């Protein structure tokens, strides 16, 4: 069982490289980048895994702050499980202190859903993480909605957010980062009641 001194592993899911940076599928990276800014640090290449990491603390100074390791896997989405598991083992993070931040097709654009465990809903990053270490980790699900018309899901998630969506994107990424911090500080139920929409 975990306790308050155990670190949290916050995994922003995405694909590396500038071609993918503004894709819907990369919103996990966007949230991780904002959390890094809040911590006041910069990502660096992990020694133990194909990932970028940043160690720090989130929350107010004192006993309420939480030790975190922010992670952006650099292995491409469908191979995220390997780097995440290696870092979880290296930092000795309990499973209930692992959080994946990711895009979610079955949630309307702009809505958030937090949960513990569950299926992968066809999300290749979650599929890889679950295969590597089981499903019992937290998820912060950033709604991107379903593709319009007959557009294939793969095409939709690998496209940039639309100009209309981008008007709200910075606010929504900020809200997602708040939700992560609330989850760590106050637990899943409080975070769900505050942020699930």
Q: Are 53 and 44 in contact, with CB atoms under 8 Å apart?
A: yes
Per-residue pLDDT, averaged over 11-17, amounts to 97
Rounded Cα–Cα distance for residues 189 and 183 (Å): 8
Q: Which residues are catalytic?
A: 25
Beta-bridged to residue 8, according to DSSP, are 68
Q: How confident is the model at residue 141 (pLDDT cuts 50, 70, 90)?
A: very high
Residue 1 in this model has a pLDDT that exceeds 60: no
Rounded Cα–Cα distance for residues 44 and 66 (Å): 20
* Host H or E run for residue 82: helix 81-91
The pLDDT of residue 157 is: 96
Rounded Cα–Cα distance for residues 57 and 196 (Å): 24
- What is the tens place of the pLDDT at every residue in 81-135? 999 999 999 999 999 999 999 999 999 999 999 999 999 999 999 999 999 999 9
The pLDDT of residue 64 is: 76
The pLDDT of residue 60 is: 77
For residue 72, give the nearest of 32, 114, 103 by alpha carbon.
32
The pLDDT of residue 63 is: 76
The pLDDT of residue 62 is: 79
Q: Are 16 and 76 in contact, with CB atoms under 8 Å apart?
A: yes
The pLDDT of residue 48 is: 84
Per-residue pLDDT, averaged over 166-189, amounts to 96
The pLDDT of residue 2 is: 65
- What is the tens place of the pLDDT at every residue in 23-79? 999 999 999 999 999 999 999 999 889 999 999 998 777 777 899 999 999 999 999
């Amino acid at each position: 069982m975990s306790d308050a001194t155990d670190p949290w592993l916050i995994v922003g899911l995405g694909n590396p490289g500038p071609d993918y940076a503004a894709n819907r599928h990369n919103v996990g990276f966007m949230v991780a980048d904002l959390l890094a800014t809040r911590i006041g640090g910069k990502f660096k290449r992990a020694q133990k895994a194909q990932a970028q990491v940043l160690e720090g603390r989130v929350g107010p100074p004192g006993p309420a702050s939480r030790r975190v390791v922010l992670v952006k896997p650099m292995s491409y989405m469908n191979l995220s499980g390997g780097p995440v598991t290696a870092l979880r083992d290296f930092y000795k993070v309990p499973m209930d202190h692992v959080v994946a931040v990711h895009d979610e097709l079955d949630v309307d654009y702009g809505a958030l859903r937090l949960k513990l465990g569950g299926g992968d809903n066809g999300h290749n990053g979650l599929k890889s993480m679950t295969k590597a270490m089981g499903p019992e980790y937290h998820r912060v699900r950033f709604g991107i909605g379903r593709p319009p018309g007959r557009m294939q899901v793969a095409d939709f998630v690998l496209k940039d957010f639309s100009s209309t969506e981008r008007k709200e994107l910075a606010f929504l990424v900020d809200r997602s980062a708040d939700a992560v911090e609330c989850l760590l500080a106050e637990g899943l139920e409080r975070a769900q009641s505050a942020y699930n929409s």
